Amino acid sequence: MLTNPRCSGPLQLIVGGRDAEPAEFPHMVSLGVSSFSGISWVCGGSLISKDFVLTAAHCITASRRPVKVRMGTLNLKTPDSTYQDIDVKRVIMHPRWKEKRYFDIALLELSWPAHFNANVHPACLAQPDDQISRATASGWGKTKSIVDQAAADRLQKVDINIISNEQCRRIFRHPELTQGIVDEMVCAGEKGRDTCLGDSGGPLQFAKNNNRCVYYIYGLTSFGGNECGEMGVYTKVSSYLNWIEKEVWPEYFDEY
């Protein structure tokens, strides 16, 4: 049981990835929205406590509001017997999110607690002093840069390099980026490997000291450039620790 409160243009494709292993990412969540056919799984997220999922704000709109999350399975189309579907009780958008790339982070409060086991378990949150050069992105997005290709049925993962914000600023120049690439963002990717066009909101994660029993969420898949398979921009989770912790563990702050 984790008791430390700290431990607990959208991209939609995993390019150059491979199948995830059973229980490899027990914090991995898919967000479901109501559709004519029932529930459509549209974005990724990360379980960070028994009651909360962390995701990207751009995944949530008035017409596409998550009503359910699915966790504990590698396959969304034919879920494993270990899966859990939980209704969403409340959506908490970052107060400064304005649909313009910045503050692209949100929380989903669950209607009932997730049941922890080998296939469902929360991830930890990266700290400001965590310095990494490589991380792993995961999601159910497409596996090739083809517009009409269906999303992957099985959870995908890809290891990618962290790119300096200085280099990222030279690459990403867009009218919507009025402040450019800021410190609250992190860039990652390499030729032929990326998250792009289903993986929005999903985690960019790493394991400390190669202990893959617990992953730390370093970033949330946010947006990318014109070409898939090159580089993506992620919301830097450690920049939002105070906001996350006050929403998820308010009792911890009430004690001090």
58 in catalytic set: yes
Where does the chain show beta strands of DSSP type E? 14-15, 18-19, 28-35, 38-47, 52-55, 68-71, 84-93, 106-110, 124-125, 134-139, 156-163, 185-188, 194-195, 203-207, 215-224, 232-236
Please give the distance of CA 144 from its chain centroid, rounded to a whole number: 19
**The Cα angle at residue 173 between residues 158 and 139, in degrees rounded to 5:** 20
Catalytic residue among 104, 138, 194, 199: 104
Which pair of structure tokens corresponds to residue 134? 């490589």
Q: Please indicate whether residue 159 is annotated as part of the active site.
A: no
104 in catalytic set = yes
Name the nearest CA neighbour of 42 among 198, 202, 203, 222: 198
Residue 162 has phi, psi (to 5 degrees) of -80, 135
* 58-77 b/e (C-beta count within 10 Å ≥ 16 → b): bbbeeeeebebbbbbbbebe
Sign of the dihedral through C-alpha 217, 199, 51, 121 = negative
- Spot the catalytic one: 58, 121, 199, 238: 58
For residue 233, CA distances in Å to 6, 9, 100, 172 come to 23, 10, 13, 9
Q: Which of 46, 49, 138, 200 is catalytic?
A: 200
Residues designated catalytic: 58, 104, 200
